[in-house]
Amino acid sequence: MAAVMPAPAASRLLLSGNEAVARAVWEAGVKVAAAYPGTPATEMLEVVATYPDLYAEWSVNEKVSLEVAIGAAYAGSRAFCCMKHVGMNVAADALMTLTLTGVCGGLVIAVADDVGLSSSQNEQDSRYWGRFAHVPVLEPADSQEAYAMTLAAYELSERFQVPVILRMTTRINHVKSLVTVGERVAHAGPGFRKDPARFVMVPGNAGKRIPLMFQRDRDLRALAETSPLNVIEPGRDRRVGFITSGPAYMHVKEAFPEAPVLKLGFSHPAPFARCRELAALVDQVVVVEEVEPLLETELKAQGLAVVGKEILPLQGELSPAVLRPAIARLLGETLPENAVSGASTVALPVFPRPPTMCVACPHLGVYYTLSQVRNLNISGDIGCYTLGAGHPWNALDTCVSMGASMGIALGMDKGRGEADKDKRVVAVIGDSTFLHMGMQGLLDMVYNKGNVTVLLLDNRAVGMTGGQDNPGNGRDIHGDDAPRIDFAKLVSALGVRDERIHVVNPYELPVLFKTIREEVKVPEVSVIITDQPCVLIKDYHKLKPYAVSDDKCTGCGNCVDVGCPAIHVTRRGKEVKASGREVDLAFVRIDSSVCTGCGLCLQPCAPKAIEHYVPSAPIQFASRGGCQA
Amino acid sequence: MSATTNILVVGIGGQGVMTATEILAEAAIALGHDAKKTEVAGMAQRGGVVSSHLRFGDRVLSPQITPGSADVLLGFESAEAMRWQHMLRKGGITLMNTARLVPPVVELGLFEYPADPLGEIRKTGNKVVAFDATTIAEELGDIRLGNTVMLGAIADHLPFGAEILLDCVLKRFARKGEKLLELNRRAFAAGRAAVGAAEAALA
């Protein structure tokens, strides 16, 4: 992607929180920005990379991205690193010692908490890292604040020589609202100045840095007491006052416009004196925070009588609809069924619509095949291919963390009980996840003589987050040429025997089936690499679409088991076989307007009823009602 | 309408729901409103449920529309329009495409697609206008015009004139040539006309 001309200063732009942070990163004169993609954080670095005058990279994982940022900050340049909440777990090893060395150039770590798990394996509160690592936490409540606090975070970072966490949530990252932007100010770094007592964290040096860290905590708390990012809005209805931060502030203001509020933008170390000031104004104090009762617990330890998670949920997003009844109960009031308009707020029952794999996705062939092989325990990983756990394949048995499929598969193998003695263990992992944290697990599996068949699904993209480039596809963050990793050579270098490495086209079902069936019988580590690109990236080329010949379709339904969303059942039936067994029939059609001709569905089709689509006449301007449901 | 206008746009991943909402937001901003747009999207790129919230007015606080307070529900798909009825305020209106996009879980026989989503919505007593945006787009020669048809459909149910919204739609195609601009103009007009005709038939 070529650099674009940034919008001029004072422009009022409709920006997501991610876009707002990216703009501020550029304005702050950041020189180095690094990240691994992860929803809802991905767009921050994607947008940063479109700005001129800075270096941006997709790193192989969050720990490396933070280390790249640390190096730049040690060299005196401003640096930026962003990640989703679980990415911080990966980066934490570096963070926990970074807090001792501190930084020279400003370093901001933007962490996006997926509160409500829209696209994550768990829910975490990244504000904990502020407490754990003794670093300040800023919490924006909308895009304008995300922009302004990013700029403020760089000032804070350099003033205290400390990395700063910008804690965001999905409702900040992905909400678009108006932002007034400013000018870029170039920031010249002085270069790296050697200082082993500060930068070489051996025990003797590190121990001397710890008291400095505690002093910094005290100084930061004193600053938080007077920070303009922490504001008391006195309000008029003094029955309940709120202490809140992040998007929860907006929900509080929406639901209780007249209530006193202490809004914490600089939320850690928390300004206890300001909290007491708010408490003095009101009858009761409610702490409204997503997700964990962090501030609430600290305030209770300070002897403040506050209410929090006793009345508010510990899980998921807050909203005015959650807050109103909770506060009404606290005050002993009753709310009408719908305080807003008297409308019914009971949802009509409608089928679920879980995410599906795309039409012609190369993973379809893998999961269709796995679903046809018996006696497998399948250790899965994180990416689009996690969807293999769903219908119709049901061919993925675990999903924990990035790269975990490797270690878990080995553990399943070594820890197998009597009931599993004939089971074969398979691990499924994508290209980017393998490079992120799977390689080490495979090395461990080889070294410890595991009996696991690894399916390495190389679709040349970080698919689930939108097809970002990675070392597996030979393109950098700008789409320019970059060295491309050779997966067969890589797994060979990790010790997998060359006879046990197979590169297979996942659209060739008989080959894939035979390879998997043979390799699971071999009692050692095998790696089967599938090599076809994600259908959403430019490497994918569409082929001629298919259609079902109605007079040939026997309703066997085999094609439906492939799981392609272009296949639709037109009618169902039953047939009594000669054996007396009754079987269900499903007659199908292919939506030829979305079919890209991958040919997966025609391979299991018993009557050969799937043929290339031939447009019957110039009917694309069909009459209304001619459109099939 | 109340001080803050709440528009809910729903459909499934890949239909252009989020882009449509963004264009509506741009129109509101062009008129000097404060605006916030947010999605409950999840892994929506993969054919999942998408509901996009737009709130605009003097000052918007929470980006989320509270259940029971949406003024207009713009449904890109029939069952999705049905799914989100509880978000409408009393007297709110649903403008829905009659298209039925059947997910794999229904194809597999695990769940049933409602036989008559429009009828189910009518039973709630909420006002609803249905039209076949997909066919309208096909008749104009390109199914991708469906998004503009949908925006035309909502154009007369906003607290501002249709022209501002049309301008914001056309801005998106400004550099794509006069032919595409004209097609989008026609798609927008066809969406407006379809809703107008359906409402006249109801009256």
Both tokens of B89, joined, read 């305020």
| A619 inside 8 A of chain B by CB | no
Report whether A511 contacts A35 (CB < 8 A): no
Interchain contact, B132 vs A621, CB within 8 Å: no
Residues of chain B in contact with residue A288, where contact means CB-CB under 8 angstroms, are none
Model ipTM?
0.95
Q: Which of residues 372-391 of A touch B (CB under 8 A)?
A: 384, 387, 391
Q: Which CATH number fits domain A362-530: 3.40.630.10, 3.40.50.970, 3.90.320.10, 3.40.50.360?
A: 3.40.50.970
- For residues B144 and B138, what is the distance between their CA atoms, to the nearest angstrom? 8
Q: Which helix (H) or strand (E) holds B38?
A: strand B34-40
What does the pLDDT read at residue A10?
A: 81
Does A598 count as an annotated binding residue?
A: yes
Report whether A341 contacts B89 (CB < 8 A): yes
| A5 inside 8 A of chain B by CB | no
Instruction: Confirm whether A362-530 and A546-612 share one CATH topology.
Output: no
Nearest residue of chain B to residue A339 (CA atoms):
B68
Nearest residue of chain A to residue B82 (CA atoms):
A348
Nearest to A28 by CA among A202, A114, A140, A156: A156
Mean pLDDT along residues A462-475: 91
- For residues B164 and B181, what is the distance between their CA atoms, to the nearest angstrom? 15
- For residues A134 and A165, what is the distance between their CA atoms, to the nearest angstrom? 10
Return the percentage of chain A with pLDDT > 90, whole number: 91
- Rounded to the nearest integer, the mean pLDDT of chain A is 94
Interchain contact, A350 vs B114, CB within 8 Å: yes
Pick the most confident of A188-192, A408-412, B12-16.
A408-412
What does the pLDDT read at residue A621?
A: 43
Taken in order A209, A214, A215, A217, the sign of the CA dihedral is positive
Nearest to A264 by CA among A247, A281, A251, A280: A247
CB pairs under 8 A between A and B: 189
Residues of chain A in contact with residue B120, where contact means CB-CB under 8 angstroms, are 348
**Which residue segments constitute the domains of chain B, with CATH numbers given?**
5-107+120-202 (3.40.920.10)
Residues of chain A in contact with residue B128, where contact means CB-CB under 8 angstroms, are none
Nearest residue of chain B to residue A560 (CA atoms):
B108
| Residue B88: pLDDT over 70 | yes
Assigned CATH for A230-330: 3.40.50.920
To which residue do tokens 């932002």 refer?
A179
B67 closest CB neighbour out of A142, A321, A356: A321
- For residues A392 and A390, what is the distance between their CA atoms, to the nearest angstrom? 6
Q: Which of residues 542-601 of A touch B (CB under 8 A)?
A: 560, 563, 565, 567-569, 572, 584, 586, 593
Q: Which of residues 271-310 of A touch B (CB under 8 A)?
A: none
Does A559 count as an annotated binding residue?
A: yes
Amino acid at A44: M
Amino acid at A528: I
Provide the residue ranges of all domains of chain A, joining segments of one domain with +: 12-226, 230-330, 362-530, 546-612
Q: Which CATH number fits domain A546-612: 1.10.10, 1.10.150, 3.30.1380, 3.30.70?
A: 3.30.70
User: What is the reported pTM?
Assistant: 0.95
| Residue B94: pLDDT over 70 | yes
Which CATH topology does A12-226 take?
Answer: Rossmann fold (3.40.50)
Cα distance from A203 to chain B (closest Cα, Å)?
A: 45
Q: How confident is the model at residue B62 (pLDDT cuts 50, 70, 90)?
A: very high
Q: How confident is the model at residue B41 (pLDDT cuts 50, 70, 90)?
A: low
Nearest to A251 by CA among A172, A179, A315: A172
Cα distance from B124 to chain A (closest Cα, Å)?
A: 9
B110 closest CB neighbour out of A255, A387, A391: A391
What does the pLDDT read at residue B44?
A: 57
Residues of chain B in contact with residue A17, where contact means CB-CB under 8 angstroms, are none
Q: How far is CA A557 from CA A362, A374, A476, in A?
A: 20, 20, 43
